[in-house]
Structure 1
C-alpha cells in the first residue's frame, strides 16, 4: 500500500502546473550553436556533463542523434585548454579548417579540427590572453577578411566587447578593444540587479549593416530575453533597436529565452537556436529550441515556427 501511495503522490506532483518530468527524448543544451555544412546540421552547447562539448547531428532540424565518433564528443577535456566550466561553443569554417571558440575556466580559447565532429584540439593548450575573466565568444569574419572577437568581459556586470583579432586568431589587438553593449534599459535588468547582464553575442552583416544580437538579464531570470543593436562598423558604435526585446517568454510561452546563435538552413533561411528554462518553476537543465528569423526593415522572429529539439 505504501508503494501505491508513494507512486500516486509522485504522479500527482508531476501533474501539478509548473512541474515537469525530464523528457528522455529532449535535448538539453544551453548556450547552443548550430553549424550547417554540406546538408548536415551540427549542434553544440553547454552540457550537463562537465568534460567538454558533445555534438549532435541532424538532416532535418527535427530529429537529432549523438555523434558516434569520439564517444560523442566534439571537444574533450585534455585535448585543448580547460578543466572545468566548458561553456558557449561556436563552430565555424575558415580556409578548410573547422574552428571552435569556447569558454573554459572563465577564459576564451580556440581549438581546431579537420571535421565538425571533432576532435577539436590545440597544439598548445592555452586561452587567449586577457586581464579579466571573459566568456561567450563569437568570432566574426568580415567580407574584407578582418576577424573580430565579440565576447563578454566579467567586470562591473556582464558587458559585451569587441576587438579585432590577429589573422591567425591567436590573440586580439588590444588597441582595437571597444565596449559594445551594457544592460542599461529596463527590459535588460527587470530584477534591478546590482550586477546587470548582457551576454551571448551573435553577429552578422546584412546589406552593409552589422547586427549584434544579445541576451539580457541573469540566465536564471524568467525575463531572460533577446534584443539587438546595429552599427555601420564592426567596432560600433551600436544603436539598440527600439522594439527590443524581440524574443521573450511572452512570445514563445517559455521562460528564460536566449543565448543562442544564428545559422542558415539548407534553403538559405535564417534561423536562431537558443535555450529556455526547463519549466515555469525550474531553470535547468535548459532545453534547446529553434525559431525562424527574417530581415525586413527590422529583425524579427516567427513565433509559429518555434519548436524544441529532440533525439
Structure 2
C-alpha cells in the first residue's frame, strides 16, 4: 500500500511539473508577427486595397528602392507585393543612386505616380499599377537648385498643383512651389518658404540646424492644413504638429496646441514623419514612424493613429495608436 501511495504521489508530482512547464512554455511563446520597419511612411488606398510605402533602412535583401506592403483591413500586411521581387520601385528604373527616401504615391491622369527623394533631390516615376514597376525614362531630378527632400504633391480645388518639400538651407525648411501641368518641374517664380523650426518644441536640443520636415497638406473648411514633423529624427522628441493658411502658398500660422502627436502621447520615442489617409469607411488616419525602441533609433517601426478635425483644430486619438505587423 505504501508503495502504491508513494507511486501515486510521484505521478502527481510529475503531472504538476509537466503542467508547469507547459504554462511556462506558453508564457514565453514568441509571436510570429513581424513589425513593419519602414520610415517616412505613406498609404495609398485604391479599390479596397491599402498600399504602404516608405523608406527602408539597413540591409536591402530585395534590392534598393521602395518596398510596398498591401492590406485589405490595415491589420494584416503582405510585404512581398511589389512587381519586382517585392519592390514597387527599383534602383535603376528612374533617377537616383542612393538615399531613396519618403515616397508619396498618387493617381493623376489615369496613371499612378511616385514622387520621392534620391541623392537629396526630388524625382518622379509612374506606373500602371500601385504595385509598380514605377519607372521614368529621365535620369534627372525634377529641378536642380540645391538639396531637397520630402516631397508632397497637392492638387487644389481649382486644379492647380503644388509641390511641398524640404530644402536643406540653414536647417530643414519647408517650401512650396506651383507645379507645371505635366509634373515635369516647378514654376520657379512661385517658390516660397512656408515654415522653419523656431519654436521650443521644434528644437528641444537647441541645435544650430533646426529641422521641420515631412509635410502633408490638406484642405478643410476653406483652410489649408500643413501637418509636419520637427526636431532631428534621431531626437526622442521628434514629434508632429500642424499649421494653417488661407492660401496654399501661405502665410502659415502654427497651431498653439502643437505637437499633437509625440512620445508623451504614444509612449515611444521619435514619433513622426507620416502622411494622412482615409480608410474605406472615410475615417481620417495618420501613418507615421517611431524609433525601434526607447533605447535605439533604427530600424524605425511603422504605426497608425486616428486623427480628426474638431472645429478648425486637428486632434489625435492617442488610444488608437497601433504598430503595424506582417
- Distance in 2 separating the partners of 1:204 and 1:90: 14
Farther-moved stretch of structure 1 (156-165 vs 117-126): 117-126
Q: CA deviation at 1:69?
A: 2.8
> What corresponds to 2:22 in structure 1?
none
> What corresponds to 1:310 in structure 2?
325
> What corresponds to 2:184 in structure 1?
170
> What corresponds to 2:97 in structure 1?
83
User: Is this contact kept in 1: 2:39–2:55, CA < 8 A?
Assistant: yes
Q: CA deviation at 1:70?
A: 1.5
> What corresponds to 2:36 in structure 1?
27
Q: How does the TM-score come out when normalised to structure 2?
A: 0.87
- Distance in 2 separating the partners of 1:206 and 1:123: 37
> What corresponds to 2:128 in structure 1?
114
Q: Which structure 1 segments of 5+ residues have no match?
A: 1-20
User: Is this contact kept in 1: 2:112–2:130, CA < 8 A?
Assistant: yes
> What corresponds to 2:216 in structure 1?
202
Matching of residue 41 in structure 1 with residue 56 in structure 2:
no
Tell me the matched-pair count.
Answer: 292
Farther-moved stretch of structure 1 (114-123 vs 42-51): 42-51
User: Is this contact kept in 2: 1:150–1:162, CA < 8 A?
Assistant: yes
Q: CA deviation at 1:68?
A: 5.5
Q: Which aligned runs of 4 or more in structure 1 are off by greater than 3 angstroms?
A: 21-24
> What corresponds to 1:224 in structure 2?
238
- Distance in 2 separating the partners of 1:68 and 1:238: 38
- Distance in 2 separating the partners of 1:268 and 1:283: 33
Report the RMSD for the aligned CA atoms in angstroms: 1.5
Matching of residue 160 in structure 1 with residue 169 in structure 2:
no
Alignment of 1:112-151 (within 5 A): 112-151=126-165
User: Is this contact kept in 2: 1:51–1:83, CA < 8 A?
Assistant: no
Q: 2:205 aligns with which of 191, 198, 204?
A: 191
- Distance in 2 separating the partners of 1:222 and 1:148: 31
Q: How does the TM-score come out when normalised to structure 1?
A: 0.92
Q: 2:76 aligns with which of 41, 63, 77?
A: 63
SS at match of 2:85: helix
Q: Residues 254 and 130 of structure 1: is their aligned pair in 2 closer, same or farther, counting only changes over 3 Å?
A: same
Q: CA deviation at 1:175?
A: 0.7
Q: Which structure 2 segments of 5+ residues have no match?
A: 1-29
SS at match of 1:250: helix
User: Is this contact kept in 2: 1:198–1:214, CA < 8 A?
Assistant: yes
User: Is this contact kept in 1: 2:82–2:133, CA < 8 A?
Assistant: no
Answer with 1 or 2: which has the greater Rg.
2
User: Is this contact kept in 2: 1:91–1:99, CA < 8 A?
Assistant: yes
- Distance in 2 separating the partners of 1:42 and 1:126: 26
User: Is this contact kept in 2: 1:289–1:309, CA < 8 A?
Assistant: yes
